[in-house]
Amino acid sequence: MKDIIDNLKLEKLLVANWANFLDQKKLFAYTLMCVQNHEFGKAVETHKKLLPNIKVTVSLFQLKRHGFNIWIEYSIPIEQNVAVGTVELSLCNSGELGHIQTIGTLFKLLPVS
């Protein structure tokens, strides 16, 4: 029988409960490594208030044939800048995590006038 899984409901369930079955420390460490290894290019200057704290959020948990694609939204300080974007990961049924891509923008925080 096909289409027995409601993918949208499964995704909502996994996004809401990922911390119950994934190792948070390992996921955060892997996300930080992906962001630190990404070449952002020139920083965009902004007067916006961006939090200089690390923020990592699971925003998508998509069922694939051999596991899941996970999207991690991040806001991570890097030197005097803040990187904001998404890391896309693959999670195999065996529990192995792999990097698909990192996208984002590096913001240079300017003084608010």
- Domain residue spans in the chain? 7-109
pLDDT of residue 42: 87
Mean pLDDT, the chain, whole residue set: 90
2-40 pLDDT, tens digit each: 888 898 999 999 999 999 999 999 999 999 999 999 999
Q: For 79-106, what is the mean pLDDT?
A: 94
pLDDT of residue 53: 81
Q: Which of 64, 66, 70 has its CA nearest to residue 15?
A: 70
DSSP string, 7-37: HHHHHHHHHHHGGGTS-HHHHHHHHHHHHHH
- Higher-confidence residue of 25 and 109: namely 25
